[in-house]
Chain A
Amino acid sequence: MGAGETRKSEEVFDIERLRELVELMEEHDLGEIDLRQASQRIRLRRAVDAPIMAMPPAILPPEQSISAAPRGQQLASEQNTGPATKSDNLVVITSPMVGTFYLRPRPDTESFVKVGDPIGPDTVVCIIEAMKVFNDIKAEMSGKIVAILVDNEEAVDFGRPLFKVDPSL
């Protein structure tokens, strides 16, 4: 095995591998591939001709197709060669852990944030509870909440989009 092949086999997320994955998704009509290697993660999603089941509103639309795992991620990155839309500038706040999403600090209190609220890096936007550890989740960015993508007390996975934020406002 040559050095080039060795390098290729070690880098799961290089561009050649991504092309192969996209081709495989098309060939086998797959809607999503989710890969992890050590601390790296990439999820590919593509639109399919006929949806098998209705997508809940909490799921990102298919054009926002390539995502790595960081908390705030740019939607529709430069890989999207289509015309820029307003959503091109939106970012999402994602879940840093598996757990239960709480939009309110207590059942009888107001939500941490609502659609239209301005936020700053230190704004607490929700709580995620896992094994009775209640973690305040901060926005870590400035902007305005344009969508809340998860219902109160819904189960969330690592990397699940929670909020859409317009950072230009």
Chain B
Amino acid sequence: MRDTTEIPDVWQRSLAHPWLSGAEYHSSLDSTNAHGLRRLKSLPESLPACPWPYLILAEEQESGRGRGSHMWYSTQGALTFSLLWEMPPVREGSAPLSLLVGAVVCEALEPLCGCDPVRLKWPNDVYIRQRKIAGILIEAPGDPKGMHVIGIGVNVNNSFDNAPQEVQSRAISLQAVAANACHPSDVLSAILDRMNDVFDRQCFPSWSESMPWERFCLLRGKSVRLQTASGDIIGICRGTQSNGALLVADANQRTHAVHSGEVIAFDCG
């Protein structure tokens, strides 16, 4: 794979990051994840092993994807990229990829955010000051080699002035909290540096902590309302299991281990 667009100088260093096997730059795309999935479909079966991780960057996304019908609101100044990555198929009990990647993003943002704590809202949103600063969407297209498309969006210098009211009230940009001005390429470099520290190219994490996401858990000890396919669960969050399931103790002191669901409300106090 080769870059198809000339890369602006400001992105040169981060896109040449040694952890990456390749990268491409787009001034605009529909969605970096959608583009990544198309890329994978067009690859020949005989592709040599391990040209991964491969990065797809777009300065603007026209229809960034989120869970189900959710969209990722993205304007200029945001960092939006996807990593194409081959890794072992997800198995029951394997490390939860979204939480691992979420912890990487938290650790990368931490030194950039001044005194504000960075938190991970289970399972894939990064929060500062109770507002969303980054999101992660991972898609596994069922490739026998175990390809994954890991989409990451970070609000860096983008403004929400023209965003829908719902977005304005829930989102925040790094520029609102950062100690020093950052370009999105600085944030990308920080994330790739941290990726390089904790993952080898086959995606085997090497954290000393067994559950590195746990220290960033936004919801621990908070009242939460969780929407699941089996119905809503209301209770107190007790953190997570090693397999990534969210633990919620309901009013009857029954603890639910939730693998799939949406936290639709939580106590911000």
A133 closest partner in B (C-beta)? B138
Complex Cα–Cα for A131 and B94 (A):
12
A138 vs B69: C-alpha distance in the bound complex, in angstroms? 22
Could you give, for residues 129-140 of chain A, a 1 whenever the CB lies within 8 Å of some chain B CB and a 0 otherwise?
Answer: 111111111100
A99 x B69 contact (CB < 8 A): no
Cβ 8 A contact of A131, one of B91, B123, B141: B123
B97 within 8 A of A: yes
Interface residues on A, range: 20 to 34
Give the size range of B's interface with the partner: 20 to 34
* A135:B69 contact, CB within 8 angstroms: no
Contact B69 A154 (CB under 8 A): no
Say yes or no for B140: interface residue by CB 8 A criterion.
Answer: yes
Q: Chain B residues near A106: list those with CB within 8 A.
A: 68-69
| Contacting pair B139 A155 (CB below 8 A) | no
Instruction: Specify which chain A residues have a CB less than 8 angstroms from the CB of B122 in the assembled complex.
Output: 131
B92 within 8 A of A: yes
B148 contact set on A, CB distance < 8 A: 133
Known: A96-B91, A107-B69. 8 other contacts (CB 8 A): A98-B259, A98-B260, A122-B142, A133-B90, A133-B139, A134-B139, A153-B229, A155-B260
Q: What are 27 pairs between A and B in contact, CB < 8 Å?
A: A99-B259, A100-B229, A100-B260, A106-B68, A107-B68, A108-B69, A130-B259, A130-B260, A131-B96, A131-B97, A131-B122, A131-B124, A131-B244, A131-B260, A132-B67, A132-B98, A132-B124, A133-B97, A133-B98, A134-B137, A134-B138, A134-B140, A135-B142, A136-B142, A137-B142, A154-B229, A158-B92
Residues in chain A within 8 A of chain B (CB atoms): 96-101, 106-108, 122, 124, 129-138, 153-155, 158
